[in-house]
Structure 1
Amino acid sequence: MKPFKYGTLAATLLASQPAFADTTILFNNFLGSNDALWTDVLAPWIGDIESATEGRVTFSVPAASLAPPPGLLNAVQQGVVDGAFQMVGFLRESHPELQLPLLPMTYFGNEETSVALWRTYERYFAGHNDLEDVVLLGLVTTPSGSFFNMAPEPFDSVEDLQNVKIWSLPGVTAEALAALGTVVTPGPAVRMYEVISGGVVDAFCCINFQSLEVFNVAQYIGSVTEVPGSLFAPAFAIFVRQDVWDSIGPADQEAILAVSGESLAHRGSFGDAPEAAARQRALDAGIPVIQADDSFTQTMTDAFAPIRQEWIDSVAAHGIDGAEALDFYLSEQANVVTGN
């Protein structure tokens, strides 16, 4: 009998395993290099992946976006880039389930919403109408916004909103504002300054205090009305192309998943302190900031009920119990606050 040779056996076993080459992911960034979502959430997440995979998975980020924000999912699917993140509002027609965080009066803290959104995705959305040819690695919200009146008197009732010309991002929020009796001028954020500074509108919404400064419209605020649960909070889906994911070894895939999903969602706390500081700067500048009272809040809740029902109906077509998912999303936000 020939002597047992461990080295020969080991070599044979290794040779029988599939080989996975190192992977470099071409990852698109459409934000400015100093944007907090990039510097405090996505760039550190990339660093976590590179560390967790011991450099076997690395990222290359082009100096400029290789596709416009509405077309980023398609750009990944078509192989223009390997990975990207996209505001979920651009996916409304194909993926109504991902519009959940855009429903009015559903935001109660940035880390809370991010974590609750991921948990809701895992429990209710995964396996139903999944993004085609990509792997979803995370969902992250950013700080929310309510009413910014260009006049010094804050909105304190739905009667104050009747026929007010208001700028909004298009989609769910624009429809919600129209349900309150406003005359909505929807458009992309890049046109916000033009519309507001030009006096086209009387008020605006859909951005947070930080974004007022970023888009150079803070000087046009006369007063602010904050709504419980807010009117709008942007949310972003983060994904890589399926064939790129498949090129990564199973152990490294597990390592990536460990720092993505809910772990990535917990980075949502990035926005809380800077947003609080920006809000304080508005107060220090003498801008009145009020909270909608119970009567105003109830009127808005009633007006938004059809918006929520429309969302529930839209996801039912994909086998999702929208009412249950919405209740879970809201309850999980409370759970995150208590550390659960």
Structure 2
Amino acid sequence: MILKKLLRLGATLAAFSALPALAQTEMHVASWLPPTHPHNAVVLPTWGQWIEEATEGRVTLKIDYDLGHPKDMFTLVEDGVADAGWSFHGYVPGRFQLTQIVEQPLLGANAEAASVAYWRVYEKYLKPAEEHIGLEVVGLFTHAPGQIQMAEPIQSLAELAGKKIRLGGGIQSALGERMQVTPVNAPATKVYEMMQQGVIDGAFMPLCEQKVLRLSEVADNLTLLPGGMYLGSFGIFINPDFLEDLTDEDREAILSVSGEKLSQLAGRVWDQCGTDALAASREAGVNVVEVAEGEPMAEEFRQLAEGLDEAWFKQVEGSGVDTKAALAELREIARNY
């Protein structure tokens, strides 16, 4: 009797061992801002939760830090060093030009609205141009409007001429040129150190970084233009080979919780970060100057930004994209979001 039971148990175990094992894949996402930044603390973990739920636990997400300069995130993912990543398009001048569509000044929308509009316009107009060739784009978003963060206060934009200003690339470079600043290109993570050492006089950045990068300690003069000066274009992307190695079911599951849904989340989180940071900066005693519509500095900026979209049209006229229709649609979606 005991022998029969052992034989039946052995047969049962053998049958279970013959079943295919439940595959589990860990998707490594390269990141570069501090772990405390809302993108790393909220956006990526939330996306990871969505992925885990959609794939019934077969795919999980892990954030990897310190893999390189933020401009290297694109090639790290292309080369398979990381399965996925995200970065700012302006860090790679020359490769990404159509992405400046969402950075154009005077959009008059927050990051969430702009990010949703950006994704829809990308899918309809920009994707065929293949600026992201070698990558599967799964999200596009912007930070909250970029503002002027200085060590010393300013009374007009004309005072920025000759000042050493950190610029991140993209449309910021064109704005800096028109303002006649001395441009200093550097990633966001270096701004605190450069401000502290007096290497730069200020930076054009979203307010979020006042808190998460502690810029309120070194750039304690904020000039807030109505609607901000520009938006910054970011992409979230996955290595196509990583996706190809997944089952059709898991691949479609990941894509189903990406795209517009992920773009909207990122924009909303970056908006909230800016709101929280501004409140913290005020509490810390930062000198905040809010420029109202119609005031001299607002008009000064409006005149300075005039024609930047036309210059961009010329810059990308060989792309094969109807950029005028794309920008008009992006503005319509964002402003009516």
TM range (shorter): 0.7 to 0.9
Report the counterpart of residue 27 of structure 2 in structure 1: 25
Report the counterpart of residue 131 of structure 1 in structure 2: 132
Structure 2 stretches lacking a partner, 5+ long: 1-21
- Counterpart code for 1:290: E
Q: How far 1:133 moved relative to its partner?
A: 2.3
- Counterpart code for 2:72: G
Report the counterpart of residue 41 of structure 2 in structure 1: 39
Aligned 8 A contact 1:23 1:247 in 2:
no
Distance 1:198 1:234 in 2: 26
What TM-score, normalized to structure 2?
0.83
What TM-score, normalized to structure 1?
0.82
Aligned 8 A contact 1:180 1:300 in 2:
no
Structure 1 residues 69 and 148, CA gap change in structure 2 (3 angstroms):
closer
Q: How far 1:333 moved relative to its partner?
A: 1.1
Report the counterpart of residue 4 of structure 1 in structure 2: none
Aligned 8 A contact 2:106 2:230 in 1:
yes
Distance 2:301 2:328 in 1: 18
Q: How far 1:21 moved relative to its partner?
A: 6.2
Task: Count matched residues.
Answer: 313
Secondary structure in 1 aligned to 2:222? strand
Distance 2:26 2:288 in 1: 50
Report the counterpart of residue 301 of structure 1 in structure 2: 302
Aligned 8 A contact 1:104 1:176 in 2:
no
Secondary structure in 2 aligned to 1:55? coil
Structure 1 residues 324 and 298, CA gap change in structure 2 (3 angstroms):
farther
Higher mean C-alpha displacement, 91-100 vs 215-224:
215-224
Aligned 8 A contact 1:106 1:230 in 2:
no
Report the counterpart of residue 216 of structure 1 in structure 2: 214
The one-character-per-residue Cα deviations of 1:44-74 (angstroms, maximum 9, x if unpaired) are 1011011101123233433x33333111111
Matches within 5 A, 1:97-108: 97-106=98-107, 108=109
Aligned 8 A contact 1:312 1:321 in 2:
no
Structure 1 residues 291 and 262, CA gap change in structure 2 (3 angstroms):
same
Secondary structure in 2 aligned to 1:61? strand
Q: How far 1:293 moved relative to its partner?
A: 4.2
Distance 1:266 1:135 in 2: 18
Distance 1:200 1:26 in 2: 35
Matches within 5 A, 1:1-340: 23-62=25-64, 64-106=65-107, 108-152=109-153, 154-155=154-155, 157-202=156-201, 204-267=202-265, 268-284=267-283, 285=285, 287-294=287-294, 295-336=296-337
- Counterpart code for 2:333: E
Higher mean C-alpha displacement, 316-325 vs 221-230:
221-230
The one-character-per-residue Cα deviations of 1:145-164 (angstroms, maximum 9, x if unpaired) are 21123334x43x44333334
- Counterpart code for 1:148: Q
Structure 1 stretches lacking a partner, 5+ long: 1-19
Q: How far 1:86 moved relative to its partner?
A: 1.6
Aligned 8 A contact 1:114 1:141 in 2:
yes
Q: How far 1:216 moved relative to its partner?
A: 3.0
Structure 1 residues 45 and 184, CA gap change in structure 2 (3 angstroms):
same
The one-character-per-residue Cα deviations of 1:263-282 (angstroms, maximum 9, x if unpaired) are 11221212333322321233
Aligned 8 A contact 1:107 1:233 in 2:
no
Aligned 8 A contact 2:139 2:235 in 1:
yes
- Root-mean-square deviation (CA), in Å? 2.5
Aligned 8 A contact 2:211 2:280 in 1:
no
Aligned 8 A contact 2:150 2:221 in 1:
yes
Identity score, percent: 26
Secondary structure in 2 aligned to 1:27? strand
Distance 2:62 2:193 in 1: 34
